[in-house]
Structure 1
Amino acid sequence: MSPRRLACLLLAASAGSPGLGNAAPPRDELVASGLQVPTAFAILPDGRIAVAEHAGLVVALREGVAAPELLVDLRARVNNSRERGLVGLAADPGFARNRALYVLYAYEDDPARPHAPKTVRLSRIDVRSGRERVVLSGIPADCRCHIGGSIRFATDGSLFVSTGDGARAGGANALALRAQDLDSPAGKLLRVSREGRGLRDNPFWNGDPWATRSKVWALGLRNPFRLALHPRSGVPWVGDVGWRAWEEIDVAGRGANLGWPCYEGAGRQGAYASTPTCQALYRQRGEHRGPLLSYRHGPRASVTGGDFARDGAYVYGDFTRGGLRLLGAPSRELAPAAAPVDIQFAPDGSLLYLSLTRGELRRIVAPASRPTVTAAAHPAVGALVLLSSSAPAEGGPYLYSWSFGDGAHSFSTEPSPPHAYAFAGTYVATVTVTDRRGRSARSSATVTVE
């Protein structure tokens, strides 16, 4: 019998994930339907998806289960008039333990006068007891529009909350200038603790954690309906709905003045340019931070700020025009989504969005790309050959099927199975990788054992 010949073999396999750069068009799949004017959603640790409905309900969806589970009923407290309603939702990072949700909604203080000026509040809800603890209150909502509506937790546990200027859209009015006033919560990006306190490292901290300016992270926003935090820098990116001219995606760094109502897009807004507030801002060169992306409002548009994929790609939408787009030069359409009102990436890398007009939660899934395999053979010490492979975590779990070319096979979820080649020769090692939706890809490498 020939002496045993061994090799140390390294096979590196990468399986396609729901990436956004693939040439093939992605699939737009229905996850759940029958929702009543859904406005926001939050992915819970157990895989359920909590969905906020405009009138004040929060329900939980589980894929494969037809009937949603009622989590929260705020209808008696929500002013559900035009854009005012339950508009923001986030799960506490400790939800698995404390069952706490954070909600942002227009508060109904007088049901007999639903069209009167109202205020917006941020509340913490214990899903088990239904108990509400108000975290922020008194955010102006004089108009039945422009109330903002996004809540996001940062990695340090702080809360970012976007607020609108609460001013009428029909014409220029003084209420929009609140967006430039540090002592008004309107038209701001706020950063607070879970209890609603301003934080010492906020840019306008004045020593009082309950002072409005101590809670301000960025100012000069009109209707910052959705925001996301950059996965590496943690800096908020905000979709700010425009007035007459421009829709914006803004990078809201610490202390940023994003310009509204003195600026719209990169240029000055003529309807407010002569006001003392705007004249003062114009004199402060470099104070205004222009948008990362702006596009023309006319004839109709309403930007929906989006979310980041793990590789940093940013997807946003437009509620009025429809569609989801990948930010780039130029931006390109991913899917013709109808009225996307909230856009988030799921832990598995797929892209979820709510369609308000259709009452649906939907998922965008890009086709899997083919795996690649490279191999290198070296003299071995010992009896086993090491085989290793890797696949993106967001596409898993994977099944790895190895055919080593010597009649031996391996089937497992283990990406690095051991194997021994007993004889010298040339072998073709093949790996087939299958993801959880049954999509598979295969590639081979020639291995020489000496």
Structure 2
Amino acid sequence: MKSALFVFLGLNMFTLVEAQTFPDGFERVPVATGISSPTVMAFAPDGRIFVAQQNGVLRVIKDGTLLTTPFITLSSVNSLGERGLIGIALDPDFSTNGYVYLYYTTSVAPIHNRIVRYTANGDVALVASEQSILELDNLSGATNHNGGALAFGLDGKLYVAVGDNANNAHPQNLDTYHGKFLRINKDGSAPTDNPFYSEAASEQRKRVWAYGLRNPYTFSIQPVTGKIFVNDVGQSSAEEINDATTGGKNFGWPNAEGNSTNPAYTNPVYAYLHSGPQPTGCAITGGTFFNPQITTYPAAYVGKYFFQDFCSPHWIYSLDLSGTPTPTLFGSNVGNSSVAITTGPDGNLYYLSRGAGALYKVVYTATNPPVITEHPQALSVLAGASVSFSVSASGTQPFSYQWIKDDVAINLANAATYSISSAQPSNAGLYRVRVSNSAGEVHSNTAELTVETVVGVEDRNSDFYPNPAKDWIYFSHPVVAVELKDYVGRSSYISIEQNNQQTRLDVQHLPKGLYFLSYEWQGVHYKKKVLISN
């Protein structure tokens, strides 16, 4: 991470006793101890926590207990300096396929970082199931700046953070993986919609999503929105939080550290310095969007970005993203050499302490009534489609839920999500949910469910045909300002072909369902429903 690598390694040799400082009502709780040089963690859908050790051992915490038998012990791991087992991601379909992806440094010559996949068999891996996903570029003698973070985006692609191998020539060179943020398919191949992809491009260039990074040790993907923040460890002056949601960005290293006036480089969302106004630090080693579905934390913390630094006083700050990013101290002396802060599925913050060899969580112990942080959204669907309303709330758990339709409680609708497998016109109405706990209750906003029945239209004298449509939608006259949105209001890409007599829209690639077609003809704007029946 830094030239002062001895700090990173040396602090693992002993544990400092520090008095943690958190806001009133918060406290640190140990989840597991006895973890040797932990680097990163991942939560399984069933509640298990996978924790990687730098030496190549992947541990499992189950029902609050660190299991004695590792998930896997990698046989050929180079763990010198910052090398080792430093990345883990579970497949989005882990519950059914059991795939676990790992990023580690192989000791087999030539030494390089690699991404592999194993299949889980209960709490252990099937060793023979190893699949090579991506072999990264060979490493020099430098043992630092390996990056290592892995995570799946909402698009189903695997994102990979790769350090520059302590070579300033790498980050601006698109034909090496070093100093890059990659986007790959599950099998390691390059998505053809990557920003630098072309058939003639190098294999490295095809997979690059963003570049100009030094040591992107961690990154976080925001639920629902898919926003991606990459935390890049700086050299001598600044630590960066970079927005890599959109591909193709150049974050400037080694020509820029922190903010730059050069328009060729994308400035960080937020950067803090090594000296000067607080916060100051030496190495950003974790960041997480705090958008849990449930949490006991006060609502003011939901939507914040929490980040941590490796060096004393071992702090955690929150970043308010509602306007100009503003940091607020959340905790200090939280743990010796802490890394990999993560939002847990239970709505608590988790992080690893390399110095203590421990996994901690930060819990809120005060009793608060529920506050809804995400309300159910209005839906418009075709008859027969499945629908689902959901709610997220903060406050003291456990919560009780009661879904209500048109002011009448729905029998057995007592979970955070309410689903209808085959919506009919009789299901249309106004839905809301009551969330309660021992301290009080709150009602969500009302969400309207509209259930449509679409009658086929084949009359060529109408504005467009056919409806339902399968491959093409035709207009018998030229139209402008054409836009097609799905039932939740997301714009859908469509190819438009037009001449003086006719306009047609290519919809054969769209999933079936109800869409809203808007267009303009002779100065009048129209919006109509259309069914895609692919």
TM-score by length of 1: 0.71
CA contact (8 A) 1:249 1:293 kept: yes
Counterpart in the other structure of 1:274? none
1:387-406 equivalences in 2 (<5 Å): 392=393, 396-398=397-399
Listed one character per residue, the Cα deviations across residues 127-156 of structure 1 (whole Å, up to 9, x for unaligned) are 332132111113343211000010010122
Counterpart in the other structure of 1:240? 232
Per the TM alignment, residue 208 of structure 1 is displaced from its structure 2 partner at its CA by 5.9
Change (3 A) 1:80 1:433: same
2:296 aligned with 1:303:
no
- 2:190 maps to amino acid: G
Counterpart in the other structure of 1:421? none
CA contact (8 A) 2:25 2:366 kept: no
Listed one character per residue, the Cα deviations across residues 28-60 of structure 1 (whole Å, up to 9, x for unaligned) are 111111111110111011110011100001111
CA contact (8 A) 1:148 1:223 kept: yes
2:70 aligned with 1:70:
yes
CA contact (8 A) 2:341 2:349 kept: yes
What secondary structure sits across from 2:116 in the alignment?
strand
2:36 aligned with 1:36:
yes
2:210 aligned with 1:212:
no
**From 255, 278, 288, the counterpart of 2:265:** 288
Listed one character per residue, the Cα deviations across residues 224-271 of structure 1 (whole Å, up to 9, x for unaligned) are 000011334323201100101111111123111000001111148xxx
Per the TM alignment, residue 335 of structure 1 is displaced from its structure 2 partner at its CA by 2.1
The Cα RMSD (Å) is 3.0
2:325 aligned with 1:333:
no
Change (3 A) 1:360 1:394: farther
Listed one character per residue, the Cα deviations across residues 361-388 of structure 1 (whole Å, up to 9, x for unaligned) are 1111234563279xxxxxxxxxxxxxxx
Matched pairs, number: 349
**C-alpha separation in 2, matches of 1:334 and 1:226:** 19
* Larger relative contact order (CA 8 Å, sep ≥ 6): 1
CA contact (8 A) 1:225 1:240 kept: yes
**C-alpha separation in 2, matches of 1:187 and 1:108:** 21
CA contact (8 A) 2:367 2:395 kept: no
Per the TM alignment, residue 432 of structure 1 is displaced from its structure 2 partner at its CA by 11
Counterpart in the other structure of 1:135? 133
2:316 aligned with 1:316:
no
> Where do 5+ consecutive residues of structure 1 fail to align?
1-21, 111-116, 168-174, 269-284, 374-389, 402-411, 417-430, 435-439, 445-450
- 2:179 maps to amino acid: G
**C-alpha separation in 2, matches of 1:134 and 1:119:** 13
CA contact (8 A) 2:60 2:67 kept: no
- 1:101 maps to amino acid: V
Change (3 A) 1:239 1:415: closer
> Where do 5+ consecutive residues of structure 2 fail to align?
1-21, 292-301, 372-390, 403-411, 417-433, 443-534
1:78-97 equivalences in 2 (<5 Å): 78-97=77-96
CA contact (8 A) 1:104 1:149 kept: yes
Per the TM alignment, residue 334 of structure 1 is displaced from its structure 2 partner at its CA by 1.7
- 2:111 maps to amino acid: K
- 2:116 maps to amino acid: S
**C-alpha separation in 1, matches of 2:180 and 2:94:** 27
What secondary structure sits across from 2:96 in the alignment?
helix
**From 217, 224, 234, the counterpart of 1:225:** 217
2:165 aligned with 1:166:
yes
- 1:202 maps to amino acid: N
CA contact (8 A) 1:353 1:362 kept: yes
**From 193, 197, 212, the counterpart of 1:201:** 193
CA contact (8 A) 2:370 2:394 kept: no
1:178-193 equivalences in 2 (<5 Å): 178-193=170-185
**C-alpha separation in 1, matches of 2:104 and 2:243:** 24
TM-score by length of 2: 0.60
**C-alpha separation in 1, matches of 2:116 and 2:181:** 17
CA contact (8 A) 1:242 1:297 kept: no
Per the TM alignment, residue 68 of structure 1 is displaced from its structure 2 partner at its CA by 4.2
Counterpart in the other structure of 1:249? 241
**C-alpha separation in 2, matches of 1:443 and 1:217:** 45
Listed one character per residue, the Cα deviations across residues 64-114 of structure 1 (whole Å, up to 9, x for unaligned) are 33534411110x21101011111001111121222211111111125xxxx
Counterpart in the other structure of 2:461? none
**From 348, 353, 356, the counterpart of 2:354:** 356
Identity across the alignment (%): 33
